[in-house]
Every structure is written in C-alpha cells, then in structure tokens.
C-alpha cells in the first residue's frame, strides 16, 4: 500500500494520513493510492503539514509496516532512546524496526 | 517583463530594454544590459561610462551569483541603475540593497508593508559593502569605511 | 572570551525579530515552504526524521558557564531534557517546535547566543582549537581571528546564497586539534621569517562524499589583510562554484576541477582588487577583540597532585592535558560513557542536568569558560591542578568522568538513522556495541580514534578516523563499511576501505580483529594508526576477511 507521511508544520511531529486527517500513529495510516498527490498538495497548501511524501508499506492485521527501515524508525522513534519513542514501555519495540 | 516595484534613485528610469551581454557587445548605442548567472560581470567594465541600466537576473533566488556581480560593478565605479530582476522575495531585499542594487523588479509583486519592514530590519552591518553605510567596525573605531 | 558590545547585541536582537516575522509569515501562508526553508536553515532549524532539530552556534566552541547553563535549561524547557554536541562544536536539540523557535532564539540572545548560519548555503560556525588559550604549543590564541571572521561572515549579503555550505577553521599551532585541513578554508596563524604574525590559508578541504585535503593557497597573509583575503576566496567561489549538482557544489570540487594554481591565481587577482576597496577592519578592531582573550588571572600553585586514588589517577592520565601554566591542567570531559547498570550512553549527548553540572564546573573551576570539541566532548580549559580531585569527584557524581579520551571507546558518531533523514544506517547502536566490546580492553589499545558516519555525507568524519565506519543501505538493510588509516591532525590522511561491508555484529568483530593485528604487530609506542601506516592494509585485510 501507499501511505503518506509528513511533519506537522507547527510542532514538527511526524504524522500519517489516516484518510481524514493526520495521526501520530502509523497503524492508523490508510492506503492513499491515487489520492496521495492531491492529499499532499491540499494539506501543504493549508499550512497543516510540511515535507509530505509517499511511503511504501504493508498492512499486517492491525499493524502497518513501512517497507523501508528509515520509515520504520520514523514511525517508532529513535531506537537508541525508546523512552522517547511512541512505545516507551515496550523494550522489544526496537526489533520491529529491524 | 516584471515591473520595477522598488526603486531607490531619484533620476528618471531607463526605458530602454536591457539586451544580453552578447548583444550589447554588438550594439554600440545600447545603454542597458542584462547579466545572467554565469556571465562575467567584468566584461562590462570597459563600457560602464555608457551604461545607464544594468539588470541582474536571479532566475532562482538560491543562485546568489548576482550579488557578487553587483558588488564588482559598484566597486568598478558604476553609478547607474543596478536592477535585480527575477525570483526575488521579501527576504532578499536587504542583501540586494547592501550589495548595491537600487532597483528591484520581482517577478511576483511583494507585500509593501513586509518589504518596508525587511528593509528597516537591520540597524547596522558588519561588512563594508560600498552601500554607503559605515560598518560596525568603523563605528567602533571612528574610522571612515 | 568575547563579550558583545551594543552593536553585536543589536544584530542578534534584529535577527530574532527577523525570524519571528519570517515564522509569522510562514504560518500565515504568506511564505511558501520553499522560500522559508533557506531562512529557517540559516537560523539552524532543520526538519529531521522525527521533528524539527535546532542547531545552536557555539562560536569556535567557546562558551561561558551562564551560556552552558542556558543550553541545559533550553533542553528542559523546549526539548526532551538533553542536547547533542556536534562535530562542528555546536549543540543540537532534536525535538523542537517551529512555533517556539523564535522564543528559543530570544532566550539565546539574552546570553549572547544564537543559531545564525548554522545551516544553509552560507558561511557556517567557525571552528577552532578546543585548547586555545591554554595549550603550551600554540603560537597565539587563534580565537580573536575566529571572532573577527565570525563577525565578517555574519549576514554577509554577498555570501548568503553560496553554491553550498562553507566551513572555516582557525588554529594557531602546528599540532592540529581541529581537523583544519579538512575544511573549506583552514587557517593556521603563523609567524614568518621576519617575525611577523599572519595566516596561512588552506582552501578546498572537506569530507562528505568526496573527501579532500585542502591545498595551501597562500603561505602568509598579513593580519591586516585577513578579511580582504577571505573575501577574495569567497567571491571566487560564489561566482564560479558549481550550482548544477548539489554533490559537486563545495569549494573543494571547484579547487580540484580548476586546479589549485588557477584558483589561487583568481583569488590573488580578486584580492589585489579588493585591497583597493577598504573592506578590511583596522588593526584596532583585532586588538579590541584580542583584549577579550587575554590570560585569566592564573594563580601560582603547586603542580604536584595526590594520585593515590587509582580511579582518579587513571582519569588524570587519560583526560587531562598539559596547560601552558604549570599550576593548571586542561580537563577533558568525555561524553562517551561506558555501559553501566545495563545502560548505554549516546556519543556526544548530555542531559540537561549534566549540562548544568558542566556549567557550574566552568564557573567555579575554569574561569567561567568551557569548550566543545569536534570530537563531541567538553573541555574545561583552565583548572588548577590543586582542584582536579574535587572536579573529578563532581564529574563522577554526574556520570561525566569516563577516562577514555582519544581511546577506541571515545567514539565520534553522527546521529545516524535514529535521528537523521539523510542517513542510510543507524550509527548509535554500532557505537554502543563497540563501546561495550572494548569497555575493559580499550584503554590498553592507546590512542585510537574511531569515527562513525551513518551515510556518505560523513558528518561523523569517518574518512578521518584511524578506524572509520560508513553506514550504507544495502538492499534495504543496514550495512557497514570499514576504513582504516585516516587522520585529522597535522599528519592528515584519508582512510582506505578494507573490503566488503558487514552487518552490525560483523563490523564489531572486524574491528576486534583489526585491533588484534595491531596488538600483534605494534613496535615500541606505536599507535594503531602508526602500525597501520607501517605495515599496510594487507595484514588487516587478511585477518578481517580470513
């Protein structure tokens, strides 16, 4: 699937297009398919997000797994500081990245 | 051709179209020329006396060669209109002025209030760039820049 | 150290107002991201893998206790409780909000700090020797010249849209502690045969994708022509540097493609012209700046110290360096901790509390001054030898007393794929694995400078490592190439790749085998680097690849 990621313009937070808005969690990402470019154009023009781009990913049940390691790190947070990631209580969270 | 939105000279604007450097070489009565990035500003030095308008094109504001061309021309004694044209935004106005441009023709019209604020932003400058303002080091030591 | 006068303060304050206005225009939609991006970069604000990252300038790596303290407070107030010291003597915060950045810059301006030109295609932070003003081997303190150049380069209207970034380094000793030859312009302050002080200019060095050592362009520039000569160098670059390809746009490419002789000819011609333009500040300005860098009021004191505490003695031997004054020492604070209690450190990171501890140590024990090194460590330049034990105890209490300066566990590592959107591989986990592997045995290997970059942009300076590691993307998995034999010092050299790359565990094993080759072959007091240079790559290659 093709999902869309971006950074919130004001806060810089990494966000994922969930079909209607932007979620902090990659599992909420939808397959934007052909609408990706339009979403990116609209959302950037509205000053909501910046640096939006399309990412290859696969859905695995409730989880969405970006194809490339860079976006998996982006989705989780720094693997060397899991306490700052989206899964601070999960010591195995880093394994998902690899 | 975009209009001159800001002009900091009292004399009459030059109406002649600015020709390319190549064409200028062939036309002995041309008084206006346009420099593109990659041209040699010093090619114009033998002709400064007859030049009344030099345009410097900024096709992309990130290509800053024109700033050097402007200073080279002013340092050589050019006192005619030095006009910046092209991809120019509010935030380029101050450095353009400091490098000697006295006319700005941005391809998209700029907000006048923002432009005024940008041009009034800097109380001082660290460098002597020939724009008439004493740099900070001159103010500190009471010397003429 | 340099203190702002009313002009300097006015400029920094104007910059804060300018960025506040630019941010307002961006958030209101009057400024596109494309137009805003260079503006925020020239105020140090990057968009990174997880958030905005702010790079605060620490001019030539020098700061006061109060400035260091504010850096710690910023980490708490605006970030997530820590900062990262960089290979260009700056500090980075990884979790910054754009909408708060004008306020951060305003806070910085109150203590004479800023983030001006720490990114973007402009002249960046000017780096220098972290032992400046304290080292016994320097000709003179290089920092007044760095400060003169800092002011000259700040908001220089002709050089704000260069083809690419531009990094300048100034040193004043034959020992190069700042990787001077690997900068776009490297300046060494020298004395000529007539006894005059001036500057040797090396232009066209750099790391990144195509590492190059800067050739000598001018052997001696008199002190009252420094700015004019620098301007000539920059104008030739601004006019002729490549703008067609981002990866060929540095001045090193221009000097290489044009040839050093032709580049020199053009600079000398421009220089001759600029000498007629009166752009050089009077010598009185250099004297005014130099007055801020006179020796502090050193007091006489016994050089002998009690080394009966073995841990203290180890730290003194590893982390203190000789000061020009016999009663003092230069103290190095390593930000490369060894693993303890199952916790691993991150090279160059310090918590807000640690930053404040270092600020207090600077204030109380180092004439209110500390330094950031390009090896991502901190220096207290002027510590009385009689105070060393007390300083060490405070460092121990703050987990800042790792006695590993310049050892294999004193790793320089870029943030890598854990933080950086440019990276191809993570560098921090590799650094941690190497540190863990050599925690006990590293000291015995002596001086061994290991540097890791997570991508070819080489922010970890891996080309200049005795051992260098380059992280690459090999079909979607992280892979690490090993280089040997680089050096950033006066004996500057670029590392050579050993052969095929490794995965994360493989690179640690390869390094272990390389150190075994060193141990087996070393003669006398040779460093790893010396043994490598003497015996060559083959024995290492054999051992690594079997």
Locate the chain B residue with the closest alpha carbon to C278.
B145
B106 beta partners: B86
If residue C522 lies in a helix (H) or strand (E), which one and from where to where?
Answer: none
Q: Do A70 and C421 count as a contact with CB atoms less than 8 A apart?
A: yes
- pLDDT < 50 stretches in chain C: none
B contact residues 10-69, partner C, Cβ 8 Å cutoff: 37, 61-65, 67-69
C chain contacts of residue B135, beta-carbon cutoff 8 Å: 281
Interchain contact, B64 vs C7, CB within 8 Å: no
More confident residue, B29 or C203: C203
pLDDT score, position C111:
98
Among candidate residues C423, C441, C424, C428, the one with its CA nearest the CA of residue C511: C441
Q: Is C124 part of any domain?
A: no
Q: Does C430 touch chain A (CB under 8 A)?
A: no
Give the 3-state secondary structure percentages of chain C, helix then strand then coil, rounded to 5.
40, 20, 40
The last residue of a domain, from among C335, C368, C397: C397
Using the Cβ of B95 and the Cβ atoms of chain C, whether some distance falls under 8 Å is answered with yes
Nearest-neighbour CA in chain C from B42: distance (Å): 11
Whether C157 and B145 lie within 8 Å, measured CB to CB: no
CB distance C105 to C118 below 8 Å: no
Co-location of C435 and C520 in the same domain: yes
Task: Select the residue of C155, C160, C288 nearest B140 (Cβ to Cβ).
Answer: C288
Task: Inspect the interface and report whether the beta carbons of C239 and B125 lie closer than 8 Å.
Answer: no
| B118 pLDDT higher than 70 | yes
Report the residue from B64, B75, B141 with minimal CB separation from C277: B75
For an interface test with B, the pick among C232, C239, C266, C271 (most B C-beta atoms closer than 10 Å) comes out as: C239
Q: How far apart are CA C110 and CA C118, in angstroms?
A: 19
* pLDDT number for residue B25: 86
Q: Are residues C158 and C70 in the same domain?
A: no
pLDDT over 90, % of chain C:
98
CA C537 → CA B80, C445, C452, C517, C533, distances in Å?
Answer: 64, 18, 20, 11, 8
pLDDT tens per residue, range C209-252 = 899 999 999 999 999 999 999 999 999 999 999 999 999 999 99
Distance separating alpha carbons of residues C448 and C467, to the nearest angstrom: 7
Residue C405 inside a domain? The answer is no
Instruction: Please tell me if residue C505 touches chain A, with a CB cutoff of 8 Å.
Output: no
Q: Examine residue C402 and state whether it is found in any structural domain, yes or no.
A: no
Verify whether the Cβ–Cβ distance C344 to A80 is below 8 Å: yes
- pLDDT at position C342 is 83
C-alpha pair distances (Å), C129 with each of B13, C55, C62, C385? 53, 20, 10, 22
Q: What distance in Å separates residue A12's CA from the closest CA in chain C?
A: 4
Residues of chain C positioned with their CB less than 8 A from the CB of B37 = 243
Q: Quick check: helix, strand or coil at residue C174?
A: coil
Closest alpha carbon to C183 in C134, C149, C137: C149
Q: What is the pLDDT of residue C364?
A: 98
Under a CB-based contact definition with an 8 Å cutoff, are residues C120 and C38 in contact? Answer: yes
Closest Cα in chain C to A98: C477
Residues 148-167 of C with CB under 8 A from B: 151-152, 154-162
Name which of B89, B129, B141 is nearest C158 (Cβ-Cβ): B129
Interface touch C99/A11, C-beta < 8 Å: yes
Two tokens at C330? 């230069």
Same domain, C433 and C523: yes
Touch criterion met for A and B (3+ Cβ pairs within 8 Å): no
Domain contains C127: no
HSE-up of A3 (CA within 13 Å, CB side)? 28
Mean pLDDT for chain A overall: 96
Residue pLDDT, tens place only, C171-181? 999 999 999 99
In this structure, are C159 and C197 located in the same domain? yes
Subunit contact C47:A14, Cβ cutoff 8 A: no
C348 CB contacts (<8 Å, ≥6 apart)?
C84, C85, C86, C335, C336, C376, C377, C412, C413
**What are the C-alpha distances in Å from A46 to residues A30, C32, C100?**
20, 11, 20
- CA nearest C45 in A: which residue? A12
> pTM to 2 decimals?
0.97
Residue C221's domain is classified under what CATH number?
Answer: 3.30.413.10
**Domain total for chain A?**
1
Cα nearest neighbour of B39 on chain C: C239
Q: Is C279 on the interface with B (CB under 8 A)?
A: yes
Does one domain contain both C252 and C185? yes
Under 8 Å CB-to-CB from B102, ≥6 apart: which residues? Answer: B7, B8, B9, B81, B82, B83
CATH number at residue C51: 3.90.480.20
- Minimal Cβ distance to C14: which of B68, B123, B137: B123
Is the ipTM value over 0.90, yes or no? yes
Portion of chain A with pLDDT greater than 90, in percent: 93
| Chains with at least 3 CB pairs less than 8 angstroms from chain C | A, B
* CB < 8 Å to C51, chain A: 7, 11-14
Q: In chain C, how many domains are there? A: 4
Contact C7 B91 (CB under 8 A): no
For chain B, domain boundaries = 6-141
Fold entry, domain B6-141: Rossmann fold (3.40.50)
CB contact under 8 A, A10 and C478: no
Domain that includes residue C229, residue range: 134-287
Helix (H) or strand (E) holding C412: strand C412-413
Flag whether pLDDT at B145 surpasses 70.
no
Distances (CA, A) of C255 to B41, C6, C74, C161, C205: 21, 39, 40, 19, 9
Q: Is B83 in the C-facing interface, judged by CB distances under 8 Å?
A: no
Q: Who's near C539: CB < 8 A, 6+ residues apart?
A: C517, C521
Helix (H) or strand (E) holding C431: helix C428-437
The H or E element containing residue B142 is: none
* Chains with ≥3 CB–CB distances under 8 Å to A: C
The dihedrals phi and psi of C165, each to the nearest 5 degrees, come to -60, 160
pLDDT of residue A91: 84
Q: Is C535 on the interface with A (CB under 8 A)?
A: no
- Given A9, A69, A74, which is nearest C476 (Cβ)? A69
Mutate to test the interface with A, among C50, C94, C452, C480 (most CBs of A within 10 A): C50
B:C CB pairs within 8 Å:
110
> Which residues on B lie below 8 Å from C277 (Cβ)?
75, 128, 130
Nearest CB to C22: which of B91, B123, B139?
B91
* Cβ contact B99–C157 (<8 Å): yes
Using CB atoms, list chains with 3+ pairs below 8 Å to chain B.
C
- Cβ atoms of C134 and C62 within 8 Å: the answer is no
**Residue C168 bridge partners (DSSP):** C185
Question: Which DSSP state fits B133?
Answer: P
Assess whether C144 and C269 both reside in one domain.
yes
Q: Is the pLDDT assigned to residue B47 strictly greater than 70?
A: yes
Closest alpha carbon to C155 in C11, C343, C299: C11
Task: Say if residue C249 is in the same domain as residue C362.
Answer: no
Provide the residue range defining the domain that includes A24: 2-97
Q: With beta carbons less than 8 A apart as the criterion, state whether C214 and C220 touch.
A: no
Task: Residue B65: list chain C partners with CB under 8 A.
Answer: 238-239, 243
Which among C344, C373, C397 is the end of a domain?
Answer: C397
Residues on chain A touching C47 (C-beta within 8 angstroms): 7, 12, 50-51
Residue C81 has which token pair? Answer: 């409780």
């Amino acid at each position: 699937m093709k999902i869309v990621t971006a950074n919130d313009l004001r806060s810089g937070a990494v966000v994922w297009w969930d079909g209607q808005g932007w979620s902090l969690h990659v599992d909420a990402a939808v397959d934007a398919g052909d609408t990706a470019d339009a979403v990116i154009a609209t959302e950037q023009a509205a000053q909501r997000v910046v640096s939006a781009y399309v990412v290859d990913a696969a859905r695995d049940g409730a989880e969405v797994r970006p194809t490339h390691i860079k976006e998996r790190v982006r989705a989780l947070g720094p693997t060397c500081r899991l306490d700052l990631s989206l899964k601070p209580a999960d010591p195995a969270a880093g394994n998902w990245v690899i | 051709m975009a209009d001159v939105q800001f002009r900091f000279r009292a004399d009459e604007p030059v109406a002649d179209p600015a020709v390319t450097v190549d064409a200028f070489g062939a036309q002995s009565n041309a008084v206006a020329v346009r420099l593109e990035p990659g041209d040699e500003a010093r090619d114009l030095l033998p002709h400064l006396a007859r030049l009344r308008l030099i345009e410097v094109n900024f096709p992309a504001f990130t290509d800053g060669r024109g700033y050097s061309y402007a200073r080279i021309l002013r340092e050589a004694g050019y006192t005619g209109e030095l006009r910046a044209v092209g991809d120019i935004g509010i935030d380029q106005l101050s450095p353009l002025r400091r490098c000697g441009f006295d006319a700005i023709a941005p391809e998209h019209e700029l907000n006048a209030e923002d432009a005024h604020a940008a041009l009034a932003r800097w109380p001082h400058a660290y460098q002597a760039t020939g724009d008439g303002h004493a740099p900070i080091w001159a103010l500190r030591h009471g010397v003429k820049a | 150290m340099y203190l702002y006068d009313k002009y300097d303060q006015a400029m920094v304050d104007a910059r804060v107002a300018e960025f506040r206005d630019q941010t307002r225009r961006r958030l209101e939609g009057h400024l596109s991201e494309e137009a805003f991006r260079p503006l925020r970069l020239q105020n140090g604000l990057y968009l990174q893998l997880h958030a905005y990252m702010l790079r605060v300038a620490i001019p030539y790596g020098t700061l006061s206790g109060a400035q260091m303290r504010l850096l710690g407070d910023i980490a708490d107030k605006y970030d997530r409780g820590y900062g990262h010291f960089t290979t260009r003597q700056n500090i980075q915060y990884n979790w910054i909000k754009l909408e708060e950045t004008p306020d951060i810059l305003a806070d910085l301006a109150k203590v004479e700090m800023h983030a001006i030109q720490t990114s973007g295609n402009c002249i960046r932070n000017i780096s220098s020797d972290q032992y400046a003003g304290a080292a016994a081997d320097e000709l003179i303190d290089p920092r007044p010249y760095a400060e003169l150049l800092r002011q000259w380069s700040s908001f220089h209207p002709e050089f704000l849209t260069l083809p690419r970034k531009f990094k300048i380094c100034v040193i004043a000793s034959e020992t190069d502690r700042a990787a001077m030859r690997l900068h776009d312009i490297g300046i060494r302050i020298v004395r000529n045969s007539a006894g005059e002080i001036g500057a040797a200019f090396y232009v066209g060095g750099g790391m990144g994708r195509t590492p190059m050592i800067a050739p000598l362009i001018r052997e001696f520039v008199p002190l009252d022509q420094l700015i004019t000569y620098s301007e000539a160098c920059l104008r030739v670059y601004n006019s002729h540097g490549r703008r067609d390809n981002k990866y060929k746009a540095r001045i090193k490419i221009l000097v290489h493609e044009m040839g050093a002789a032709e580049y020199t000819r053009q600079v000398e011609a421009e220089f001759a012209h600029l000498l007629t333009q009166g752009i050089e500040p009077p010598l009185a300005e250099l004297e005014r700046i130099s007055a801020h860098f006179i020796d502090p009021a050193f007091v006489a004191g016994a050089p002998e110290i009690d080394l009966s505490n073995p841990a203290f003695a180890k730290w003194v031997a590893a982390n203190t360096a000789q000061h020009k004054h016999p009663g003092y020492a230069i103290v190095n604070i390593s930000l490369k901790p060894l693993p303890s209690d199952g916790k691993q450190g991150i090279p160059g990171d310090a918590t807000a509390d640690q930053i404040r501890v270092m600020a207090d140590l600077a204030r109380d024990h180092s004439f209110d001054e500390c330094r950031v090194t390009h090896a991502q460590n901190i220096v207290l330049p002027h510590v009385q030898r009689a105070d060393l034990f007390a300083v060490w105890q405070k460092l121990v209490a703050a987990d800042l007393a790792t006695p590993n300066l310049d050892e294999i566990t004193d790793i320089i590592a870029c943030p890598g794929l854990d933080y950086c959107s440019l990276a191809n591989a993570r560098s921090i986990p590799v650094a941690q694995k190497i540190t863990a592997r050599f925690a006990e045995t590293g000291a015995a290997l002596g001086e061994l400078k290991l540097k890791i970059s997570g991508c070819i942009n080489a922010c970890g300076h891996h080309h200049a490592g005795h051992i260098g590691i380059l992280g690459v993307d090999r079909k979607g998995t992280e892979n690490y190439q090993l280089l040997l034999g680089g050096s950033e010092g006066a004996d500057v050299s670029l590392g050579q790749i050993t052969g095929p790359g490794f995965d994360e565990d493989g690179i640690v094993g390869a390094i272990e085998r390389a150190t075994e080759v060193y141990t087996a072959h070393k003669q006398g007091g040779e460093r790893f680097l010396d043994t490598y240079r003497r015996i060559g790559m083959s024995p290492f290659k054999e051992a690594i690849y079997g």
